[in-house]
């Protein structure tokens, strides 16, 4: 659902840019509370994984494809604030390096694909988790529903933005119906990918899934006929529960998906591209400012073999995204420690 330049007029693009900048600023502050020594390196990996999976367009209808948006996946794995940052990093890398999503439309894309999907998905997820039994299956089921709903809501958000600042005169009712219809189908694919990924991580390391951290209920002991909470066990040292294997497995999976599996992705236009072509939204679409860049359209310039070109571009994208994302999240994490120390009682001068 990457919006290109020319779909949305300049005033609306500027306004959404301000909204996106504000959301990123709030998320940077909120992420300090979500990230710790275990999750900070994984957040960069989540961004790289989302980048890789977004290269895998899957068919959803005749002549139409879809791909992961990633807001639900990021929010549930590493937290909603960190999730907004993860998807924003991906969108920035795609726009700057691969000419995917307009540069003037970056605010639109972050607002729609990073903020809306993450907020909606996590709100739905938390509501369902409170209603369902506290089990791993419940978390996976809530993940599926949250991811499914986040995609058509994002489609509606784009339609609303187009109603405010669209550059062509189209039937908004027809556009809304078409966007929601095709993106509901895409949402099914998003839900399946997200639930499978979250379920796989929960099966191996449930402590690394932000949305599953409250699954463990305190052990109850019967004392004098009454049930009381058992004393909490000392947590295992972080070093003893190293995340290196999880990180390495995730990075290898991302490289394989982007470098090899992406070659077999559907070549059909995605949901937004199809709706735009069918309803005339793309009449004033503009060529990307870096359309001639060495990695434009997810291929390496001057590499004639399509499989090799796309694979190299995917591997480069994963590498750049994991480095950029990890750098951002480690910086956020490092800022948390001094603030935590400054706010602790032991740091107050007497």
- Rounded Cα distance between 84 and 74, Å, is 8
C-beta separation of 321 from 93 below 8 A: yes
- The pLDDT of 296-313, averaged and rounded, is 95
Residue 349 covered by a domain? no
Residue 347's pLDDT is: 37
Give me the domain span that covers residue 306.
Answer: 10-229+241-339
Residue 236's pLDDT is: 46
Residue 2 covered by a domain? no
- The pLDDT of 152-163, averaged and rounded, is 97
Which residues sit opposite 64 in a β-bridge? 61
Residue 236: DSSP 8-state = P
pLDDT-derived band of residue 350, with 50, 70 and 90 as boundaries? very low
Residue 221's pLDDT is: 53
Residue 16's pLDDT is: 97
Residue 326 covered by a domain? yes
Residue 135 covered by a domain? yes
Quote the number of domains for the chain.
1
CATH number, domain of 260, equals 1.10.1760.20
Which residues sit opposite 65 in a β-bridge? 59, 270
- Rounded Cα distance between 24 and 116, Å, is 12
Residue 186 covered by a domain? yes
C-beta separation of 228 from 221 below 8 A: yes
Residue 111: DSSP 8-state = I
Residue 178 covered by a domain? yes
Residue 335's pLDDT is: 72
Residue 341's pLDDT is: 43
Higher pLDDT pick, 231 / 319: 319
pLDDT-derived band of residue 38, with 50, 70 and 90 as boundaries? confident
Q: Is the pLDDT of residue 343 over 80?
A: no
Give the count of beta carbons closer than 10 Å to the beta carbon of residue 37.
11
Residue 146 covered by a domain? yes
Residue 36's pLDDT is: 82
């Amino acid at each position: 659902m990457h919006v290109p330049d020319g779909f949305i007029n300049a005033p609306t693009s500027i306004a959404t840019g301000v909204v996106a900048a504000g959301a990123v600023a709030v998320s940077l502050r909120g992420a300090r509370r979500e990230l710790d020594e275990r999750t900070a390196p994984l957040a960069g990996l989540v961004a790289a994984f989302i980048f890789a999976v977004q290269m895998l367009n899957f068919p959803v209808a005749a002549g139409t494809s879809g791909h992961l948006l990633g807001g639900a996946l990021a929010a549930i794995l590493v937290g909603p604030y960190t999730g907004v940052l993860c998807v924003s990093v991906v969108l920035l890398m795609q726009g700057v390096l691969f000419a995917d999503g307009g540069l003037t439309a970056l605010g639109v894309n972050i607002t729609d694909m990073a903020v809306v999907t993450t907020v909606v998905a996590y709100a739905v997820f938390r509501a369902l988790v409170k209603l369902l039994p506290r089990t791993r299956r419940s978390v996976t089921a809530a993940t599926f529903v949250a991811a499914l709903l986040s995609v058509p809501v994002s489609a509606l958000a784009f339609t609303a933005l187009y109603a405010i600042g669209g550059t062509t005169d189209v039937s908004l009712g027809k556009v809304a119906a078409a966007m929601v219809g095709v993106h509901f189908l895409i949402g099914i694919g998003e839900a399946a990918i997200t639930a499978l990924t979250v379920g796989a991580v929960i099966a191996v390391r449930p402590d690394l899934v932000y949305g599953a951290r409250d699954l463990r209920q305190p052990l109850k002991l019967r004392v004098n006929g009454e049930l009381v909470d058992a004393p909490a066990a000392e947590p295992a040292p972080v070093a003893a529960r190293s995340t290196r294997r999880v990180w390495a497995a995730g990075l290898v999976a991302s490289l394989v998906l982007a470098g090899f599996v992406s070659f077999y992705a559907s070549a059909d236009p995605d949901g937004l591209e199809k709706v735009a072509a069918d309803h005339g939204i793309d009449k004033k679409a503009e060529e990307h400012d870096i359309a001639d860049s060495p990695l434009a359209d997810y291929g390496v310039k001057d590499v004639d073999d399509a499989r090799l070109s796309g694979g190299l571009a995917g591997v480069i994208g994963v590498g750049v995204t994991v480095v950029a994302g990890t750098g951002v999240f480690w910086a956020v994490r490092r800022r948390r420690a001094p603030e935590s120390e400054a706010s602790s009682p032991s740091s107050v001068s007497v």
